[in-house]
Structure 1
């Protein structure tokens, strides 16, 4: 039997796809802690060597690019966060954590959150459900063992979200996800129209360093936008969130943002944010806890 094309689907079919994972009630809180005007949630995806490993690329060149994130990028990021007194969430593939266990301890010692980001930055939409589940369970156990705390949340690798990701997230008992893009503000995830209790802390490619700054030697990816212009986009995003009394969430990667000129731009962004009164800096787990209780 020939598979139907989307234009041949009946309403139950296309509606079922749309409703499988959907944005529910807004969790924008009535107020932020301490009467803050806005919230800022910085995050770093510590992918390191896992992206080339995921693709079966085992030669030193690609692996060295990832190693830069752990060797140079992370220490710079941690120094910058300490200087500004800002907590952050580090989403870490379990293989990255196993390669760099001291880094996990450094995150914890500095008061940052360690959260899930897959096993080896796998593409979960290409996996069988059983494999996706097994890797997620294994990753959660690994991060708990290395950090001393069970992860509270997940960011799926590459923000991929399969038909089974939400069910696995619920089975793990996670309090939040940060992979989807249905709002600027936190919201509750629905599964086939039913509330799940899981907080979505939405991401967006606009607020991610990778689309602007990645370089692929044999592909079309080129860092066309200068770092200060990228920071200017993020500054405008923050300013709008501040004016609305909402959340400014940012996704960064140590192997991308961790270079000198880019860290200068990030530092200037944090200087700009720090020049505003009434900003609550929080980890993603803290955001999820607060909005669940105060929406």
Structure 2
């Protein structure tokens, strides 16, 4: 039986005070995957099937329709995002796939030139649990790291892959000098991993992928209301002394579409209106702040008192 931590901080989570005095940190993550999804036309054995519709193209054949659905994200969606982030002065983390950056380095550079964080989202948009050995995964991790740095001038310090990490991912990231990983859906606060990495949790519920799921969002207002409910609940808990983080995930090809972009603009404007009630932060800043005050998040020292 695998070792799993089903307890975490338990009844005594650390009372983190974020840099602006807030107890709630909110991180906006934008996925930059276009061109890194599996496509037969790019030499991959199969084409990605998750999209606006279920693909009817025969497996093993080039799916130009799916290619175009992804391309919309970088051709149009990216510019909507950069404009909205600028207007609301929102710091964001862009989760960049290496192959996407290699194909469109000027777009990756536009993102970091705008002041946003570049994090590693894997070489291609795939679960790292698929890797059969550490050597191959290491090669792809370093390849993506180098490509992102070359294109943006910023060496990524954070990581998040589709689905699940492999058994070796975290040790490989630590070996490569990474500070944090975000493949964690099990807490509202960061924590330390035995590899030495800080784990900055990611939320799949406050994520626009739910527009592609039958039990998810249909209209933009549904995501806006859901995110607002999450923030308001965390603010209520903050009044009682509880600290937390919340991740809001967007995809260029999903929320970059006009009808869904209303969710993006309204959520960003709502977060900006909260001023010092929340800390709007990039994931790297959350990791750095947490690491500075809690090098071992599971120690008894961490559980005592406020970290300010």
* TM-score, normalised relative to structure 2: 0.80
1:286 and 1:224, CA in 2 relative to 1: closer, same or farther beyond 3 A?
A: closer
Shift of 1:244: 2.9
CA offsets per residue over residues 184-236 of structure 1, 9 Å max, x none?
111112xxxxx3331111113212111x2127xxxxx6876222112211111
- Cα distance in 2 for partners of 1:101, 1:43 equals 19
Q: Is the Cα contact below 8 Å between 1:140 and 1:151 reproduced in 2? A: yes
- Cα distance in 2 for partners of 1:65, 1:228 equals 23
Shift of 1:103: 1.0
Moved runs in structure 1, 4+ residues, more than 4 A?
A: 19-29, 221-224
Q: Which residue of 1 aligns with 2:260?
A: 262
Secondary structure at 2:197's aligned position in 1? strand
Q: Which residue of 2 aligns with 1:272?
A: 270
Whose helix proportion is higher, 1 or 2? 1
For structure 2, list consecutive stretches of 5 or more residues without a partner in the other structure: 48-61, 239-243, 295-308
Q: Which residue of 2 aligns with 1:145?
A: 150
- The total of aligned residue pairs comes to 268
Aligned with residue 154 of structure 1, among 155, 159, 172: 159
Q: Is the Cα contact below 8 Å between 1:27 and 1:187 reproduced in 2? A: no
Secondary structure at 2:154's aligned position in 1? coil
- Cα distance in 2 for partners of 1:265, 1:20 equals 35
- Cα distance in 2 for partners of 1:249, 1:290 equals 16
- Matching of residues 200-215 of structure 1 within 5 Å: 200-210=199-209, 212-214=210-212
Aligned with residue 90 of structure 1, among 84, 94, 117: 94
1:248 matched to 2:246:
yes
Q: Which residue of 2 aligns with 1:6?
A: none
Secondary structure at 2:233's aligned position in 1? helix
Secondary structure at 1:205's aligned position in 2? coil
Q: Which residue of 2 aligns with 1:46?
A: 32
For structure 1, list consecutive stretches of 5 or more residues without a partner in the other structure: 1-13, 190-194, 216-220
Q: Which residue of 1 aligns with 2:227?
A: 234
Q: Is the Cα contact below 8 Å between 1:199 and 1:292 reproduced in 2? A: yes
Secondary structure at 1:44's aligned position in 2? strand
Q: Which residue of 2 aligns with 1:293?
A: 292
CA offsets per residue over residues 241-295 of structure 1, 9 Å max, x none?
2333322211111111111111112211222222223132111001100111134
TM-align CA RMSD = 2.4
1:18 matched to 2:3:
yes
Q: Which residue of 2 aligns with 1:218?
A: none
Secondary structure at 1:18's aligned position in 2? coil
Q: Is the Cα contact below 8 Å between 2:185 and 2:204 reproduced in 1? A: no
* TM-score, normalised relative to structure 1: 0.83
Secondary structure at 1:270's aligned position in 2? helix
Secondary structure at 2:226's aligned position in 1? helix
